[in-house]
Chains A and B, each alone.
Chain A
Amino acid sequence: MISQTVDVNVPRFNQAVVAVVTAVAFVFQMPALVGLMFVVLAISRLGGPRWAPLTRFYVTVVRPRIQPAGPREFEAAAPPRFAQLLGALFLGGGYACLLAGWSAVGWVLTLTVTALASLAASARICVGCLIYERAVVR
């Protein structure tokens, strides 16, 4: 059963990693990293938290070091999951465009994810979550 709440730091860690890796992919022109992030997000979305590589890494390696007492704050899990789905779709589309030779479109889609993931990780403004709240909840 998928949990209805999630440690607030889990989506933020995921978003920070996605932002950094896609930024590196753009600056150093490494489309393979875009593909890698697409695969990571797709696995996370399809397999759930148990199979999510970044979530597993955070929970088993990072959290015990920075929060030994366990998570302190939770949030509803559905909005970040929806945001993750949007991120996977954009990165999948971007990677497909990069493979097809449409570099400009591919990098625009990738940079969109970079910017939104960066916003969500640093300022807690999760655009995908806001879209979920407006489009799905209402």
Chain B
Amino acid sequence: MIIRLLVLLGTLAVAYGAAGVLERRRPRRGPLHLPGVTLVSAPGCTLCPAVRAALRGVDVREIDVSAVPGVRSVPTVIVTDSSGAVTMRRSGRSAITDAATIISAAQLARC
């Protein structure tokens, strides 16, 4: 049984190691790396209207979750600066409660 435990732990270690390497090598491009504020939504997203309302006055680009590899939660708000780096990311209710912080981050990202 000890050998089987070691095999199990080894398998998990290889999987986590490989995932870490792949995650670091994943290219940083796509719609989320366009400068500005992006709202990732989906049909039937119950919180999305509240996020839109909370971010009223901010220029928000909205895209469907199916078009964004790597993002699966909706709503997700992502702030990207002019270099294409993601400076803030909030999902679920925190996209509403942290709206003021998101707006500040969006203003900073434009600088």
**Which residues of A approach B to under 8 Å, CB–CB?**
3-5, 8, 23, 26-29, 72-76, 78-80, 111, 114-116, 118-119, 123, 125-127, 129-130, 133-134, 137
Contacts and interface: CB of A to CB of B under 8 A. Distances in A.
8 contacts: A5-B44, A27-B4, A74-B74, A76-B65, A116-B15, A118-B15, A119-B15, A130-B69
B64 to A, nearest CB: 9
Given A26-B8, A130-B69, A133-B69, A72 B74 contact: no
A115 B11 contact: yes
A137 to B, nearest CB: 6
Given A75-B73, A114-B11, A119-B16, 18 more contacts: A4-B44, A8-B72, A8-B73, A8-B92, A73-B91, A75-B72, A76-B42, A76-B74, A79-B72, A111-B8, A114-B12, A118-B12, A118-B15, A123-B16, A125-B19, A127-B19, A129-B72, A134-B69
A137 B71 CA distance: 13
Contact of B14 (A75, A115, A127): A115
Q: Which of B1, B11, B67, B72 has the most CB of A within 10 A?
A: B72
Contacts of B70: 133
B72 A27 contact: no
Given A4-B43, A5-B44, A74-B42, A125 B73 contact: no
Interface size class of B (residues with CB under 8 A): 20 to 34
B43 A73 contact: no
B8 A23 contact: yes
Contacts of A119: 15-16, 19
Contacts, number: 77
Nearest to A124: B72
Contacts of A116: 15
B82 interface: no
B90 to A, nearest CB: 10
B66 A29 contact: no
Interface string B39-60: 0001111110000000000000
B1 A27 contact: yes
